[in-house]
Structure 1
Amino acid sequence: ISCKIQMLLVATVILASCFLTAKLWKRLAKYVMDLFTMRNIIGPAQLPLVGNAHQFEYGGAAFYRQIMEFGRQYQDHPMFRIWVGIYPIVVLQKAKSVESILSSSKHITKAFQYDFLHTWLGTGLLTSAGEKWHSRRKMLTPAFHFSILQDFCPVFSEQSRVLLQVLDDQLNADGQAELDIFPYMGRCALDIICETAMGCQVHAQTEQNSEYVASVANMSEIVMRRLKNPLYYSESLFARSRLSAEQNACLGVMHAFTTGVIAERRADFAAMSEEERRDQMAIRRRRKRLTFLDLLLFESETGAKLTDSDIREEVDTFMFEGHDTTAAAMTWCLFLLGRHPDVQAEVHKEIDAIWEEGRLSPRAT
């Protein structure tokens, strides 16, 4: 019997070795092919197998400045490339190049690095592809109709006022003439997206101890740290890291929060008859703000039959996309206005003119 066990163990080891060798060979062959493909794209010198990973700055701000420096270094080129281990990343620098990709409805499969978001976002609109992406996009497009977005102007106004008060308090408390505005814009955007997407308030700007707000910020940082470390590209290695434990803790908080909000709102729907639900949606469209979650729940009852898991992945997706990228865009806009006072003056003049013409009400500004 022991002889048979030994033979079985030997066979298992041989098969496992063959499998790992084949997998490694396939990955190395892909690496060589990528080297050949990228040979004409300019970029910083890289080391074999390591790429540029050894050069990356650890902190988020320092890494951002490093990428910006690469951009300035290769500003005369439409794109440049960097290597994270054996994985190439191409950075586009011209609007036309970006437009051709973002406007495509065919090339929608994201790079495998987007898989790092699956534990958080599932396969929602950001990370899905194929038929699921097309059907979800078609279903969600009405949520961004101008009339619906216009209903949320009071939310934008209210949270903007909170932002101004927070900034004023911070400057008065520190006695400083300047501060890093991005964290404040991020919390403002999070307050806005929570109320518009889920119909609930998290008070990210005024309550610093919110577990959900902290988890969103920490999860975003974890994803970025993983992107910069090629060792964490391996699921098995990442699962054994301290970063994975931190991620699981954040996911527990965030998923519990969105699941609770969905369950509460679905219970409200379940308590109504089908006619009442339709009437309720009509009333909300006519008199009240219709949240993104309301639209998904209504669709789950009348059309696509979405599960709670389907709804959560779309809500989580828009929570992620709606606060982080929006905060970056708002911060960049303010930065450019600060760098170009003449344009800032024109914007101010335009807003004053719109106000004087009565095209904006005090409630919506």
Structure 2
Amino acid sequence: MPPVPVASLPALQQCLMSYTNHSSPLSFILTGIPGLEDAQFWIAFPFCTMYFMAVLGKITLLLVNRMDPSLHLPMFYFLSMLAAIDLVLTTSTVPKLPSIFWFQSHEIVFEGCVAQMIFIYGLYTVESGVLLTMAFNRYLAVCKPLHCSTILTGPTIAKLGLAAVVHGMAIITPLMYMVTSLSYCGICVMHHSYCEHMSVVKLACWDTWPNSTYSITAATTMVGLDSILIAVSYVLILREVIGLSSREARLKTYGTCGSHVGVILPFYTPGLFSFYSQCWGQRIPAHLHILRADLYLLVPPMLNPLIYRIRIKPVQERVLSLFCQKGIQPKS
């Protein structure tokens, strides 16, 4: 076990006192990246850079979409949903990383740890639902173009977004209830950079089989069902595209659908791999697992605007036009 920082010893003593009563701990100690303690100071710099780029891109997208009525279309509504989700997801976890790596602030209260897990796994589920809705939007745009605008109206999009939120909360609520119902015994040192569910469960002294079983079942069912429905929508899209007579139309459809697939793969694949490796990947070095888990929270939100460069081109043009107009305004 890596040594616990001296600054964290008071919190560790509180943890030990709470464990004597087998109750929920007052706080956890996040060690950061075990095995890379000497490099953590420098690792924080690229992490902060990626976080800044992700936040800047998401806020810009949300502001421009709100300001420009010409972008009030289903495609941009869904992109705004993804931007808002990524913004909250990264902000709920990433700011803690530099506090660990630079300022040795390793302590996180138990309630804050639970809230962090709710944001991570709840928003992960909500984002999966939004990606599924975007696949449905692609299907309508390609296969039913005459009905797309009448089906995906503003109220319908709002209902779909609300359904994704309710679905996410319905899945995460039982999981968080089971986590808070556990009794924890032992030293509450978590070898991670944030409150990852299985890392928290491993600190419990009760039988954690219900937690592990539910989390694995929920993740597999959610991702499996959403992935199947997304795959079905793209099979139907490809069948429609093959029948198009215009080569230019086929290339345009491949480009727009390819950008969506480019977001789906980085979203599902690393997340599931990280989740299952926590359960059964004991041979994977701890620092590699934690680095992958940290990058998973940063890289997709940062890269999504680049992957969607074709679809976000109108937004980029609008941003440039706003800056240009502001720059050429006559001085009073």
Shorter-chain TM range is 0.3 to 0.5
Q: Larger relative CO (CA 8 A, sep 6+): 1 or 2?
A: 2
Greater helix proportion = 2
Per the normalisation by structure 2, the TM-score is 0.35
TM-score where L is the length of structure 1: 0.32
